[in-house]
Chain A
Amino acid sequence: MANRILDVKNLKIDFHTYAGEVKAIRDVSFHLDEGETLAIVGESGSGKSVTTRSIIGLLAKNSQIMGGQILFHGKDLLKISEKEWQQIRGNQIAMIFQDPMTSLDPTMKIGQQIAEPLIKHKGASKKEAWAKALEMMKAVGISNAEERINQYPHQFSGGMRQRIVIAIALICEPEILLADEPTTALDVTVQAEILDLMKDLQKRVKTSIIFITHDLGVVAGMADRVNVMYAGEFLEKGTVDEIFYNPQHPYTWGLINSMPTLTSEKLESIPGTPPDLLDPPKGDPFAPRNKYAMKIDAQMKPPFFKVSETHQAATWLLHPDAPKVTPPDEIVRRWEHYKELQAADKD
């Protein structure tokens, strides 16, 4: 079995707001193995960012961990001091933020910014750190690095800045890289370049990635496993093939169905809005927007039903007594394709 480096168990996080307690993360469990990429997919406000931020100890001041564990090599990160956090951040666990236009210090030379974690964590001299920063700049594909290392962020384009942010995150060769929508602010062609770069560097640095996105299209080429998040909890977990070709939760169906295809004449969407987490729903949180919802969905939270060793979905539709429903055409098409794939695998 692959070496498990991160194990998040029953994580619960609340936010104190003027309106009351927002239950942002409601019993979330997942794990990360060495060298793999886990994608967490969900719409805005589903809690993906909060989940990742808890792994690097950078939650907002008004948040409170209500329970659970974040085990990093068996050590519970929820119990360590700020000093210990500082030794982990940027060193063993690093993070890439969403907007490269604002995540660099506008008045510091980028060489210094890239070198900073190395000086902090590895006790590198300025000269060593500078040399390594130059090496990293070349590794992330910045041409003319010798000259550009002395430049300031405003002299770089968005895509180039995100490469710099990646260089900063990877300079200490972290075990876990948290990427919070790293390509959302970039245009599509640059997106593809950045994703390729991340995959390439992941192999070289041997880091595991938790990739946050709302864009299923990005997930397909990037992730090994996918967790679908909604209203502060996971609704479905599986390998990338299982989620794309054998989805079980109606929310995952909705997500996949709303991706444009070459033949789609009109863009599908999921009607309604996510529930208010000030007062979270009792049953399946997706039930109010779900046209396949049953009575029980509103009354009782569905447990995770096992679809395969690697695939689980929290929907009552998987209960043996549930009626058979027909998902959207696109999903039926994918299911058939999945069966063919499996049959082909057996041969």
Chain B
Amino acid sequence: MAKYLLKRIFYMILTLFLVATITFFLMKMMPGSPYANEAKMTATQKAIMNKQYGLDKPVIEQYITYLAGAAHGDFGISFQYSNQPVSSLIGARLGASAQLGLQALVVGIILGIIIGSIAAVNQGTWIDSTATIVSIIGKSVPNFVLAVLLQYYIGLKLGWFPIAGWGEAAQTIMPTIALSVGPLAETARFIRTEMVDTLSSDYVELGKAKGLSRIEVIRKHTLRNSMIPLVTLIGPYAVALMTGSMVIENIFNIPGIGEQFTKSILTNDYPTIMGVSMVYCFGLVVILLLTDIVYSLIDPRIRLTD
């Protein structure tokens, strides 16, 4: 186990390094500069600014300087936000994103499990078909479309929840709904398939042959076995929620890391782009590791070895 973990951590660091490298050079290939009114600047002004931010040096040197800094936890100074360090900038905004992501994940998975199980138990009936249609719609309608619809009909017309903003619980409801629909649809579909499989398995048959009632068979032999593989989806969900939240945070004007990310890309705020990419990447590799550990804990067939 310890050996396995060490190996995984080594790969995590390697992944982070590769992502940092690729992102850095891709970012440098973006057109434009960090300066807001570049057209009005003279060549001298530009040279002074470039020198100030270290942009006058060759790209490869900038890359090495960045990596050296990042290795010590120094992610540089944001070009855009009144010269704040990127780390404190991200730190201040991570909370909102994490809260929104977690809420959406929990809501999506729980509702997804409920809808999927109900569909599986009523396989072939209108309930099952309805659930299938709901999950297809949930999967195919982009969450930003849903977000705008929610804002217009629920927020503006009905006035049930605030249209945008962040700070009070009511403001988190609509973005959470918009963001949770993806994982919800995916979970419902997944659980339905798993459960239909499990319900027709030999051990469920043996459970019935033991004299267990339908409810007992589902509770004791079906739910756990159908839900275990769901853990494997949490990694992909995390990615979906991260990228999804970029747009959703923009739409609902939530001061989260996603909103900052999109802004930093539009303004060529190099240190912030790098910082946020690394935070996303770190979050993802940690989630993937946790997923594997959790899987080995709840499924006796899985053991972590190298």
Measured in the bound complex, the distance between the Cα atoms of B203 and A94 in whole Å is: 14
Measured in the bound complex, the distance between the Cα atoms of B299 and A154 in whole Å is: 11
Indicate if A256 sits at the interface (CB-CB under 8 A): no
Cross-chain contact A90 with B225 (CB below 8 angstroms): no
Give residues of chain B (165-214) contacting chain A, Cβ–Cβ below 8 Å.
Answer: 201-203, 205-213
Indicate if A296 sits at the interface (CB-CB under 8 A): no
- Chain A neighbourhood of B221, CB < 8 A: 105, 108
Give residues of chain A (76-102) contacting chain B, Cβ–Cβ below 8 Å.
Answer: 82, 85-91, 94-95, 97, 99, 102
Would you give the shortest CB distance from B203 to chain A, in whole angstroms? 4
Indicate if A289 sits at the interface (CB-CB under 8 A): no
Interface residue from A56, A105, A106, A152 paired with B209 (Cβ < 8 Å): A56
Give residues of chain B (197-240) contacting chain A, Cβ–Cβ below 8 Å.
Answer: 201-203, 205-213, 216, 220-221, 224-225, 228
Given contacts A107-B228, A152-B300, A154-B301, contact A116 B205 (CB under 8 A): no
| Contact pattern, A 236-269, Cβ under 8 Å of B = 1, otherwise 0 | 0000000000000000000000000000000000
- Chain B neighbourhood of A85, CB < 8 A: 211
- Chain B neighbourhood of A88, CB < 8 A: 211
| Contact pattern, B 262-306, Cβ under 8 Å of A = 1, otherwise 0 | 000000000000000000000000000000000000111100000
Measured in the bound complex, the distance between the Cα atoms of B237 and A189 in whole Å is: 49
Residue of B whose beta carbon sits closest to that of A87: B211
Indicate if A120 sits at the interface (CB-CB under 8 A): yes
Number of B residues near A (Cβ < 8 Å) is 22
Residue from B205, B206, B207 whose CB has the most chain A CB atoms within 10 Å: B206
Cross-chain contact B202 with A89 (CB below 8 angstroms): no
Residue of A whose beta carbon sits closest to that of B123: A61
- Chain A neighbourhood of B299, CB < 8 A: 107
Cross-chain contact A97 with B212 (CB below 8 angstroms): no
- Chain B neighbourhood of A105, CB < 8 A: 203, 207, 220-221, 225
Cross-chain contact A116 with B209 (CB below 8 angstroms): no
Measured in the bound complex, the distance between the Cα atoms of B58 and A327 in whole Å is: 97
Measured in the bound complex, the distance between the Cα atoms of B114 and A188 in whole Å is: 45
Cross-chain contact B203 with A91 (CB below 8 angstroms): no
Residue from A87, A106, A165 whose CB has the most chain B CB atoms within 10 Å: A106
Residue of B whose beta carbon sits closest to that of A103: B202
Cross-chain contact A104 with B203 (CB below 8 angstroms): yes
Indicate if A301 sits at the interface (CB-CB under 8 A): no
- Chain B neighbourhood of A94, CB < 8 A: 209-210
Would you give the shortest CB distance from A212 to chain B, in whole angstroms? 14
| Contact pattern, A 20-45, Cβ under 8 Å of B = 1, otherwise 0 | 00000000000000000000000000
Residue of B whose beta carbon sits closest to that of A120: B211
Cross-chain contact A102 with B212 (CB below 8 angstroms): no
Give residues of chain A (96-138) contacting chain B, Cβ–Cβ below 8 Å.
Answer: 97, 99, 102-108, 116-117, 120-121
Residue from B203, B211, B225, B228 whose CB has the most chain A CB atoms within 10 Å: B211
Interface residue from A86, A107, A165 paired with B206 (Cβ < 8 Å): A165
- Chain A neighbourhood of B203, CB < 8 A: 102-106
Residue of A whose beta carbon sits closest to that of B208: A58
Would you give the shortest CB distance from B179 to chain A, in whole angstroms? 31
Cross-chain contact A90 with B210 (CB below 8 angstroms): yes
Cross-chain contact A58 with B209 (CB below 8 angstroms): yes
Cross-chain contact A102 with B210 (CB below 8 angstroms): no
Would you give the shortest CB distance from B228 to chain A, in whole angstroms? 7
Would you give the shortest CB distance from B229 to chain A, in whole angstroms? 11
Measured in the bound complex, the distance between the Cα atoms of B201 and A105 in whole Å is: 9
| Contact pattern, A 215-237, Cβ under 8 Å of B = 1, otherwise 0 | 00000000000000000000000
Would you give the shortest CB distance from B3 to chain A, in whole angstroms? 22
Given contacts A105-B203, A107-B300, A152-B300, contact A89 B225 (CB under 8 A): no
- Chain A neighbourhood of B300, CB < 8 A: 106-107, 152, 154
Interface residue from B202, B211, B224, B301 paired with A121 (Cβ < 8 Å): B211
Indicate if A6 sits at the interface (CB-CB under 8 A): no
Measured in the bound complex, the distance between the Cα atoms of B300 and A168 in whole Å is: 21
Cross-chain contact B210 with A97 (CB below 8 angstroms): no
Measured in the bound complex, the distance between the Cα atoms of B213 and A87 in whole Å is: 10
Given contacts A107-B224, A107-B299, A154-B300, contact A89 B208 (CB under 8 A): yes
Cross-chain contact A97 with B202 (CB below 8 angstroms): yes
| Contact pattern, A 51-92, Cβ under 8 Å of B = 1, otherwise 0 | 000001010000000000000000000000010011111110
Cross-chain contact B225 with A103 (CB below 8 angstroms): no
Would you give the shortest CB distance from A62 to chain B, in whole angstroms? 11
Cross-chain contact A89 with B206 (CB below 8 angstroms): no
Measured in the bound complex, the distance between the Cα atoms of B213 and A168 in whole Å is: 17
Cross-chain contact A168 with B210 (CB below 8 angstroms): yes
Cross-chain contact B301 with A152 (CB below 8 angstroms): yes
Measured in the bound complex, the distance between the Cα atoms of B221 and A152 in whole Å is: 14
Measured in the bound complex, the distance between the Cα atoms of B288 and A243 in whole Å is: 63
- Chain B neighbourhood of A56, CB < 8 A: 209
* A and B contact pairs by CB, cutoff 8 A, 22 listed: A58-B205, A85-B211, A89-B208, A89-B210, A90-B209, A90-B210, A90-B212, A95-B209, A97-B202, A97-B205, A97-B206, A102-B202, A105-B203, A105-B207, A106-B203, A107-B300, A107-B301, A120-B212, A121-B211, A165-B206, A168-B210, A169-B209
**3 cross-chain pairs, A with B, having the tightest CB-CB distances, nearest first:** A90-B211, A90-B210, A89-B211
Q: Residues on A close to B: CB < 8 A?
A: 56, 58, 82, 85-91, 94-95, 97, 99, 102-108, 116-117, 120-121, 152, 154, 165, 168-169
Q: Residues on B close to A: CB < 8 A?
A: 201-203, 205-213, 216, 220-221, 224-225, 228, 298-301
